Structure 1
Amino acid sequence: MLPAVKDYRDLARRRLSRFAFDYLEGGAEDGRAMARNLASWGQVMLKPRAMVDVSDIDAGVELFGRQQALPMLVGPTGLNGLYWPRAEEALARAAHAIGVPFVLSTASTSLIEDVRAATSGDLWLQLYVQQDRRIAESMMARAQAAGFGALMLTVDTMVHGKRDHDIRNGFRMPVPWSARLLADLLAHPRWCLRMLRQGGSPQLVNLARSSGMAANLAQQAAAMSRQMDMALTWDDLAWVRRHWRGPVIVKGLLTVEDALQAQHAGADGIVISNHGGRQLDAAPSPLEQLPRIADALHGKMHVFVDGGVRRGGDIAKALALGACAVVLGRAPLYGLAARGPRGAAEVLAILRTEFEITLRLLGAVHARSLDASWVA
């Protein structure tokens, strides 16, 4: 096991092709939103309490009536097959081995049914809504049939943010051949062989199955990037409710006003998120917005936060500022890209260990006891 998440990031950078790592790591435009996300965690100081018996601690939390071992989710990320074959199955197993839910993306490269077959753990579905809403309805029905417990509706991707790194690399799906791409592949033979063994470029298989689309990655990518439903409004949460029986979490909110709208519309939870800094480069960091939003909701909704969690201590900071759990994005992917399924499990184990160390050093016996009184 490597010492920290950043070490897996460095190893992933060496092992992935350049365009694959840039897709994983890059933010929108000049990367300022992503930089704000990472910097915001360092601005929060915590107040330790001395002379507390921390021989036994409880790092768990309850989410929607289910006990979870840690206050974190392995969150939804797309095109994970770029980093390792059967990526979503590996991430789901790693999440469930450590006792936390896994959230499967609409843009996943493994089928809903295959991920369920790989594990009996807690699975949630992340949903993008296309113009043809029958696609979303099909995905919800398939996930319900497979026993997925919660729905995470992403609302900050009416269009894709401008990602300069992808333009510079000529990255699109499928990746067009060029001399630069050939040189990139030759420099990363192990990654290239893994991709060849899985049949080349990963497919957006769930989108394809629910839309009746052929195994054509260019068509699938076009459906994701150009056919999003830009007319989606708060009134449409009632439509989601008609097709989903369990908890509904709205992901991609950054203001008190939108959080209150989500509450009024009947959502069970929200994720304060700027999409990992990949959408609006002028967006604030989610952590900065967390205290105001949590205060406005008065504990009446589940509040999650994402955006740059790299240390177990970050989880403690999020809870102290009002979140019930954090949503992990890039961190487990660094592990997956660096060392495959073992690397993903190691990253989650590092975060667990660091979080437990933080609780003991703070003198916090229960994770759920963390609140604003612990913030310096």
Structure 2
Amino acid sequence: MLSCVEDYRVAARRRLPRIAFDYLEGGAEDGDALRRNRDAYSRLLFRPRVLNDVSRCSTATSVWGREMAAPMIVGPTGLNGLFWPQADELIARAAAEAGLPFVLSTASTSLLEDARAAAPDGDLWLQLYVQQDRRIAEDMMRRARTAGYSTLVLTVDTPVHGNRDHDIRNGFKLPLRMSRRLLADCLRHPHWTYQVLRFGAPELKNIAKSVGEKADLNRHAALLSRQMDLTLAWRDIAWLREHWHGQLIVKGIQSVDDAMLAAQSGVDGVVLSNHGGRQLASTLASLELLPAVCAAVAGKLKVFIDGGVRRGSDVVKAVALGATGTLLGRAPLYGVAASGQSGASDVLRILQAEMRTTMQLLGCAEVGKLEAAHVVSAQHLLAPSAVNSRVA
């Protein structure tokens, strides 16, 4: 049991070969968006209130009538079997035990039916990529409905892959091709290598099943990287509604204008996201965009954010600025990559415990009472007008 998410990140880095850890950790190009996601949280400071009764502090909340232990959702991440065998199923079970929703990626290495079997009572959501052959997406939605998934998360910020220098340097392609450098790296990480030899290389099983083929990593990786439907547009929300009758969220919103279009299209929620800094290299952090979006679409839809959450205090900051909740991407992966389900469970426990302590120190006992007055921008404090007002 480690003390914080960063400790699990260090442990994951030790256990994984470089090609796997860089895939988990890396951002687009020079990593500007990746850094900005984290820096946005550090630039926001708390304004605690004291002598408030916080003896019964609770992180619990609800979304669409479903109870959640905290305003956190374990977000969609692809190719998780690269980090631990059956990682999607292990994380789904950890999320269910923690009382949090879990979003399974189209690019998962476990079947959505197997994730449901691993978490029979969990609130499972499906993240959807739409390929040129839309029958694949339609079949995936059908299977998710049958398996009792509650929410569809349409990702819209990946018509093509971003420029990821680390993958080019490492020769990362699916399936992995053995090279002298990769062999040397594998030998330096025997536990990871043993698991791959024992359980086999990860496969994109969900896509394979909906395509109706045997798992073929070459072909199905191509469906994700070169055969995305570039014609997908706002008008296609109606097509999705024909096939999905649960909650519908659009993930990858990066402007107020698109958030307003999402509200007009009738979706139930949006995720402000720059894809963890992995797509377009120079973008705003979701946290920076959050107040303006919440003001523009107030009451019309739920607003979630992702990117850069490493502490429970980060979740408190996001909710204080108006977020319904935060999606967790890399943090649970550090846990599962370090020690399987126990690591993922511990990361979720740590984040919830940190959130509760932060709320108590902030003088706020309920998630619903977090508000913008609880935080202030460090940049605002350094502005001349703010300095003058303090001097006066």
Answer whether TM exceeds 0.5 for this pair.
yes
Percent identity of the aligned residues? 58
Instruction: Please state how far the C-alpha of 1:259 moved relative to its aligned partner.
Output: 0.3
Contact 1:60 1:368 in 2 (8 A): no
The match for 1:204 is: 204
Question: In the alignment, is residue 189 of structure 1 matched against residue 190 of structure 2?
Answer: yes
Query: SS in structure 1 opposite 2:250?
Result: strand
User: Match of 1:347, as an amino acid?
Assistant: V
Alignment deviations for residues 250-298 of structure 1 (CA, whole Å, 9 cap, x no partner):
0000111000000000110000000000000011111100110011111
TM-score (norm 2): 0.95
Contact 1:116 1:146 survives alignment (8 Å):
yes
Provide the rounded CA distance (Å) in 2 between the counterparts of 1:11 and 1:115: 25
Give me the whole-angstrom Cα distance separating, in 2, the residues matched to 1:249 and 1:255: 16
> Secondary structure of 1:193's match?
helix
Distance in 2 between residues matched to 1:112 and 1:244, nearest whole Å: 16
Measure how far apart 1:299 and its partner are: 2.8
Q: 1:331 aligns to what?
A: 331
Alignment of structure 1 residues 208-219 onto 2, 5 Å: 208-219=208-219
Number of the residue aligned with 1:233: 233
8 Å Cα contact 1:109/1:203 also seen in 2: yes
Amino acid at match of 2:84: W
Deviation at 1:214?
Answer: 2.8
State the alpha-carbon separation in 1 of the partners of residues 31 and 369 from structure 2.
35
* Counterpart AA for 2:130: V
Q: Hey, what does 1:177 align to over in structure 2?
A: 178
Q: Would you say the 8 A contact 1:213–1:220 is kept in 2? A: no
- Matched to 1:293, the amino acid is V
| Bigger shift: residues 204-213 or 105-114 | 204-213
What CA distance in whole angstroms lies between the structure 2 residues aligned with 1:259 and 1:101?
23
Distance in 1 (alpha carbons) for counterparts of 2:66 and 2:214 = 38
Match of 1:65 in 2: 65
Q: How does 1:53-202 map to 2 (within 5 A)?
A: 53-119=53-119, 120-199=121-200, 201-202=201-202
Q: Report the secondary structure of 2:45's partner residue.
A: coil
1:291-330 to 2 correspondences below 5 Å = 291-330=291-330
Question: Aligned equivalents of 1:217 and 1:350: distance in 2?
Answer: 35
How much has 1:343 moved relative to structure 2?
0.4
Cα deviation for residue 213 of structure 1 reads 2.9
Give the match's secondary structure for 1:62. strand
Secondary structure of 1:45's match?
Answer: strand
Shift of 1:55: 0.6
CA displacement, residues 51-106 of structure 1 (integer Å, 9 cap, x when unaligned): 01111012111111111110000000000000111111100111111101000000
Instruction: Give the letter aligned to residue 221 of structure 1.
Output: A
Paired residue type of 1:192: T
* Deviation for aligned residue 1:227: 0.5
SS at match of 1:327: strand
Which runs of structure 1 show a deviation greater than 3 angstroms over 4 or more consecutive aligned residues?
A: none
Count residues in correspondence.
Answer: 375
Partner of 1:246: 246
Q: Deviations over 1:222-252 (max 9, x none)?
A: 1110010011000000000000010000000
CA-CA distance at 1:115 after TM superposition: 0.7
CA RMSD, Structure 1 to Structure 2 (Å)? 0.7
TM-score when scaled to structure 1? 0.99
CA distance in 1, matches of 2:330, 2:183: 26
